[in-house]
A and B are shown apart, each in its own frame.
Chain A
């Protein structure tokens, strides 16, 4: 079960997942998620060109090639936006599709040579293709990224939450942005063998979105995103390694997206269920107050504080069946039913002492 290959894959996936979660947090906070998609797609021509030039799939050659292409893509997006005034989404789409097309052309060029069969691995990722010898360089490069991030933590934090403020403080915002994009490109490139160029974006975004739902503040978010990323990475890689012929990228991505979906639903404060619950609570308490106020109002109209209101009247007042609300209020001791002799079928209610106090108390 625990073969050496599986351990290698799990370690690599945990590392990549954690790193992607950390850097992805910045993409999500800066609203640049799709830039990650563009850089990932755009690194394909770099990967293939590196293969064509170096003649093999050496770790650092591929890394350098992909990095150059990814960085060029990021700069092209900037140039199209700033230089030519192309809208941001169009600039992203243009760069993504043109770089990817270049990658496809180079890919067919490489396929005429021997030893290139493994290149399509970069499209969807294949866990088994991670070599044990790749682990140490992977850890070194990833560690380097984290060290740079830690050294410039304050600056990047400022950049993520308040770029205008950062500019006003005199930080070199443009240079920091380029550096951050470069760090993200390195992360993407490290993950390519596992997740593939097409799906890498989800591995960056999903753990960060998941983490954002549970915590406030950048540091806790980054830690949690790293944890989620590592979980999704390891889980996906192991499942894909056990299942025959299942590409790693899709499984890792689905694991990460499942974590994000669960977080969006279940997170205690921001989560969709918690929000629904809060809204339902608020609606319930509002209805309770409305019924109490109606009873009190009827009492005031009849100049009789102990006046018992007809339930049908309360139904009409609430625009809905007042029964459940009255039952709850009765349980809480704010109202009590009154049986009147002449009309045994109709139910009448009056305020208790506690109900009157509740009505007079200022809004909670």
Chain B
């Protein structure tokens, strides 16, 4: 199954995933995810215009045109928003669809000369990367893969070079400019690299699916990891896993390989949402449960302390009282008692529960807290 074609497809996908994770991490941290959306749409106009002006369909000229268009879309929308005549969201929502519409229209009008299918622009077809190859060192390499590798190497180099600077600029632009790191220039570089990567990727996966690799793994990383390095590592792993899983599933179901890979990035996200120790649903449930148990144990202690040394002590410290007076279900009462025994705040003799020294101290502290609260309220 893993023949040369499959390797070319998987390799191209892996390169998209690596570049996407590198840039996406910082885009997500800076709150510029939708700039990725704007860039990946706007580059279409840049490519078409570069072709109309110079006739170049591949190479550095369309890349330069695309970078100009992509960065221009983001900065144009920001400049428009600064006029205060419309919000940042509305400016973005007008500028990039307008550029994309113009690009699509120009492709439409030049369809006969420009071999650029608008469905391909949007969807890409990674399944066909092996049709267009170059020979390097005597081996056939897919052109899309070679371009992606070049852009990917550039991304790795820039991220490694500016790692600390980008981190500071992402979290604290004020500090970054105070340190002379020029966060504006850093942001520009990030957007320019995103545009260049989008151009290289769009032959393979199309503009919208590139967006999936740019944002979804990075958000997954953000959910799981607490540091930028950890976030990037998780993003890389989840992006690369998505390429493999998406390829296998899409191959079997005979559907779009690029679409399958992009959709598979969602698996990592769902996994993180469910199982992440920081923000996952399971972790939140466990925390909520522990918190609830804590509260119930406190109620039990207060109940026992209130009746300690009174005539009703014997009656109030049995399991029946917990059910009748505190309104607990029998099973619930049992769990709370077990938890309290675990913590060593009560002890059990037969049916009777009584406070240990530690439990009594807790109860006294609670009473003092209550008194203080009441004093403050008065």
Chain A positions near chain B (C-beta within 8 angstroms): 28, 31-34, 36-37, 41, 83-87, 89-90, 92-94, 96-98, 100-109, 112, 120, 123-124, 198-199, 201-202, 204-206, 208-209, 212-213, 245-247, 249-251, 253-254, 257, 260, 264, 270, 272
Contact = CB atoms under 8 A, between A and B. Distances in A.
Contact of B263 (A84, A98, A257): A98
B87 A253 contact: no
B261 to A, nearest CB: 8
A108 B89 contact: no
17 contacts: A28-B90, A89-B33, A92-B33, A92-B34, A93-B215, A96-B211, A98-B269, A100-B209, A101-B208, A104-B206, A108-B254, A209-B85, A209-B86, A212-B85, A249-B104, A251-B105, A257-B101
Contacts of A89: 31-34
B256 interface: yes
A246 B105 contact: yes
B85 A264 contact: yes
Contact of A105 (B80, B85, B255): B255
B279 A84 contact: yes
Nearest to A204: B93
Contacts of A251: 101, 105
Interface stretch (B118-126, B150-158, B171-179, B340-348): B118-126
B100 interface: yes
A254 to B, nearest CB: 5
B93 A201 contact: yes
A213 to B, nearest CB: 6
Contact of A205 (B33, B34, B93, B219): B93
A202 B97 contact: yes
* Chain B interface, >50% SS class: helix
A98 B253 CA distance: 18
Contact of B208 (A33, A41, A204, A270): A41
Given A32-B89, A101-B212, A105-B259, A198 B105 contact: no
Nearest to A106: B255
B125 to A, nearest CB: 10
User: Which 3 residue pairs spanning A and B have beta carbons closest together?
Assistant: A104-B259, A202-B97, A97-B212
Given A41-B208, A86-B222, A201-B97, A102 B263 contact: yes
B171 to A, nearest CB: 13
B85 to A, nearest CB: 6
Contact of A250 (B89, B104, B273): B104
B254 A112 contact: yes
Contact of A94 (B86, B97, B216): B216
B211 to A, nearest CB: 4
Given A90-B215, A94-B216, A254 B86 contact: no
A66 B80 CA distance: 32
A270 B84 CA distance: 10
Interface string B209-242: 1011011101100110000000000000000000
Nearest to A36: B93
B21 interface: no
B86 A28 contact: yes
Contacts of B266: 98, 101
B258 interface: yes
Residue of A105, A208, A257 most packed against chain B (CB within 10 A):
A105
Nearest to A112: B254
Interface size class of B (residues with CB under 8 A): 35 or more
A94 B215 contact: yes
Interface in B90-118: 90, 92-94, 97-98, 100-102, 104-105, 108-109, 111, 118
Given A98-B265, A100-B209, A199-B100, A93 B89 contact: no
Contacts of A104: 123, 206, 208-209, 256, 258-259, 262-263
B101 A253 contact: yes
B90 A37 contact: no
B33 A90 contact: yes
Contact of B87 (A31, A90, A201, A264): A31
B223 A86 contact: yes
A198 B34 contact: no
B87 A250 contact: no
Nearest to B273: A84
Contacts of A270: 85
B93 to A, nearest CB: 4
B310 interface: no
Nearest to B265: A98
Contacts of A87: 28, 31, 33
A254 B105 contact: yes
A213 B84 CA distance: 11
B219 A108 contact: no
B215 A34 contact: no
A271 to B, nearest CB: 8
B219 A246 contact: no
A85 B279 contact: yes
Nearest to A271: B85
Given A84-B223, A92-B33, A253-B97, 5 more contacts: A87-B28, A94-B216, A97-B212, A247-B108, A257-B97
Contacts of A120: 119
B102 A260 contact: no
Contacts of A123: 118-119, 122
Contacts of A198: 41, 97, 100, 122, 208
A93 B33 contact: yes
A84 B280 CA distance: 8
Nearest to A200: B97
A202 B105 contact: no
Contacts of B54: none
B11 to A, nearest CB: 20
Nearest to B259: A104
Interface string B181-223: 0000000000000000000000000101101101110110011
A120 B122 CA distance: 11
Given A28-B90, A202-B97, A97 B209 contact: yes
Contacts of A103: 259
Contacts of A272: 83, 85
Contacts of A245: 108, 111
Contacts of B206: 104
B36 interface: yes
Contacts of B41: 198
B260 interface: yes
